[in-house]
A and B are shown apart, each in its own frame.
Chain A
């Protein structure tokens, strides 16, 4: 049996951590408690969970057209992550396997994209999309999601691929496997930790991003969840709207929190792997 001694140092540390976490979580608790009140009731906001009413949620749900927005979000984020995993692992394959000046150049070329903010290029990109006559619909922002994610994902895959032994591929080659077979059936399955890391880190920012959909999607019924949140911007001035706004915030955050609750371990290892291998 492990002996648990009550050292003053340890008690102090626990107390400090507890206070700190309460401080961090406190605004979120207020949001949750206020969202459970009927609209227009923001008196004494510091009383936690003194009322339970779903009236604000119903109003927010209707105003956001929640099911439609949720579907749009799931479609675009899911498809983007699939394409990112495929394209970036493919790009990392020659970059990490061939030792030449070309592959080194390619590597740094991709990484350079990491430091360019996307707000800078958004107007020329919009022109480019117009010039290629790509229609503006819910899938247009995917182009930018994928392009912006490529540098980091390729970088990550290249880092992980160095630890996959070359001998595996050589023996597969001798057994008659072609390049694509070797990549898809031998290398990619061994890169599962990298795939988890890419899917989580990139999927998370894509799910939460409002900037590209705001610019590239014009039709109301094609908005994703973060973009429908933008219509609440004007409501901040009106205290009567705060409960509905908070309910909308909870609805917006709920899907990702649910995913996090189920896959917490993968999140933690994925985020850490993303930085440590890079």
Chain B
């Protein structure tokens, strides 16, 4: 009896399997083989014909003429002594590269840019994440706090530069006045004039302007979290700190990747505050890669040398970005 039953069961199972085989799977296989045959024969899809590529033409044309071609030209100029104006230039081989290496421009600006990027990425992400976590709990006046943190991002870099020039100003600036008010002696405080801290000073300005957008992205990431998962973790006895470290952070790892990469790209392009607030000074303390490229090309009129520096920064930026993407993608958690 029992045997009969089980064989009946298995028969039904087999039938089911056969129906399944006759139904969707061969059909799918058929479609796929038609698709691949169509591809091999070079047939054009009716709904999405190759004519569609024409839609990309305007964007592609702009991109090629004003982005890719100038980039190639820049590579070419890096081997010449072109000054940006006179087209009677000569090839000088690797002289530009040797020069920027020898006079310390390269090492200095790479070091400055990396320090700036690390400070900026670290601070704006930690701050953004902390505020987002705080705002994501049960908070009153959430919109007001969020708006306050985001407002600096609306200002133009030049306005931000002016405001912070005043904050840092020696003798009568905001910081000095505040320290004097609480009874400290700030007569010697000159952040932008001190070659040890000027770089951190301008990185802080970038953090002030940028952490609001980072925070908004983190907040959006945190709001996608499944409340049931957090509930389950709480029932399993997680305290708030464990909940954050073991559940929340791994679940928003994709958001963390995006934020870190976006702010790192911004940091590697650092130019604005070195240009507006310090002009690269004091000495060479805030000469970032992009500010140096600009300074050499426009003030010193040495286009060849500026191009050589550009070429090296181009590769630096690509290497750093790809490395970061690789490392962070590996750490991401799949759900």
User: A: which residues have CB within 8 A of B?
Assistant: 10, 13-14, 16-18, 20-21, 24-25, 27-28, 30-31, 42, 45-46, 87-88, 90-91, 93-95, 97-98, 100, 102-103, 106, 109-110, 113-117, 119-125, 127-128, 132, 143-144, 146-147, 150, 154, 166, 169-170, 173, 179, 183, 204, 207-211, 225-226, 229-230, 232-233, 236, 239, 242, 245-246, 249, 252-253, 256-257, 260, 264, 267-268, 271-273, 275-276, 278
Q: Are B70 and A121 in contact (CB under 8 A)?
A: yes
Q: Are A24 and B162 in contact (CB under 8 A)?
A: no
Q: Provide the B263-281 mask, 1 if CB < 8 A to any CB of A, else 0.
A: 0010011010000100000
Q: Are A260 and B154 in contact (CB under 8 A)?
A: yes
Q: Are A21 and B317 in contact (CB under 8 A)?
A: no
The 22 listed contacts between A and B (C-beta, < 8 Å) are A14-B140, A14-B141, A17-B134, A21-B148, A25-B148, A27-B163, A31-B163, A98-B52, A117-B271, A119-B290, A124-B77, A125-B66, A127-B70, A147-B67, A204-B154, A208-B157, A226-B159, A229-B156, A236-B166, A249-B163, A264-B147, A272-B220
**Can you name the residue of chain B whose Cβ is closest to the Cβ of A256?**
B154
Q: Are B290 and A147 in contact (CB under 8 A)?
A: no
Q: Are A173 and B165 in contact (CB under 8 A)?
A: no
B29 at interface by CB-CB < 8 Å: no
**Can you name the residue of chain A whose Cβ is closest to the Cβ of B52?**
A94
Binds A, one of B20-28, B114-122, B171-179, B229-237: B171-179
Given contacts A14-B139, A249-B163, A271-B213, 12 further A-B contacts (CB under 8 A): A24-B208, A27-B164, A91-B55, A102-B53, A110-B59, A114-B265, A128-B66, A147-B63, A147-B67, A226-B158, A257-B151, A275-B255
CA distance A13 to B131 in the complex (A): 10
Min distance, Cβ A193 to any Cβ of chain B, angstroms? 13
Residues of chain B contacted by A260 (CB below 8 angstroms):
151, 154
Q: Are A276 and B178 in contact (CB under 8 A)?
A: no
Q: Are B48 and A97 in contact (CB under 8 A)?
A: yes
Binds A, one of B6-14, B89-97, B306-314, B326-334: B306-314
CA distance A210 to B271 in the complex (A): 12
CA distance A271 to B262 in the complex (A): 12
Q: Are B166 and A242 in contact (CB under 8 A)?
A: yes
Q: Are B56 and A95 in contact (CB under 8 A)?
A: yes
Q: Are B259 and A275 in contact (CB under 8 A)?
A: yes
CA distance A28 to B144 in the complex (A): 16
Residues of chain B contacted by A169 (CB below 8 angstroms):
47
CA distance A46 to B155 in the complex (A): 22
**Known pairs A46-B177, A271-B216; A249 contacts B162 (CB<8 A):** yes
CA distance A191 to B186 in the complex (A): 55
Q: Are B162 and A229 in contact (CB under 8 A)?
A: yes
CA distance A13 to B150 in the complex (A): 19
Number of residues of chain B lying within 8 A (CB) of chain A: 92
User: B: which residues have CB within 8 A of A?
Assistant: 39, 45-53, 55-56, 58-60, 62-63, 65-67, 69-71, 73-74, 77, 84, 131, 134-135, 137-141, 143-152, 154-159, 162-167, 169, 172, 174, 177-178, 181, 208, 213, 216-217, 219-221, 224, 255, 258-259, 262, 265, 268-269, 271, 276, 290, 293-294, 297, 303, 306, 310, 313-314, 317-318, 321
**Which of A98, A166, A253, A267 interacts with B155 by CB under 8 Å?**
A253
Min distance, Cβ A275 to any Cβ of chain B, angstroms? 4
Q: Are B58 and A25 in contact (CB under 8 A)?
A: no
Residues of chain B contacted by A132 (CB below 8 angstroms):
65
CA distance A2 to B163 in the complex (A): 43
CA distance A139 to B73 in the complex (A): 24
Q: Are B216 and A268 in contact (CB under 8 A)?
A: yes
**Can you name the residue of chain B whose Cβ is closest to the Cβ of A225?**
B156
Q: Are A124 and B221 in contact (CB under 8 A)?
A: no
Q: Are B63 and A150 in contact (CB under 8 A)?
A: yes
CA distance A260 to B216 in the complex (A): 15
Residues of chain A contacted by B134 (CB below 8 angstroms):
13, 16-17
**Which of B48, B49, B137, B148 interacts with A24 by CB under 8 Å?**
B148
CB-based closest 10 A-B pairs: A272-B220, A124-B70, A91-B59, A208-B156, A21-B148, A94-B52, A117-B269, A124-B73, A120-B310, A121-B70
Q: Are A21 and B314 in contact (CB under 8 A)?
A: no
**Can you name the residue of chain A whose Cβ is closest to the Cβ of B72?**
A124
CA distance A50 to B52 in the complex (A): 64
Q: Are A120 and B162 in contact (CB under 8 A)?
A: no
**Can you name the residue of chain B whose Cβ is closest to the Cβ of A229?**
B158
**Known pairs A17-B135, A275-B255; A253 contacts B159 (CB<8 A):** yes
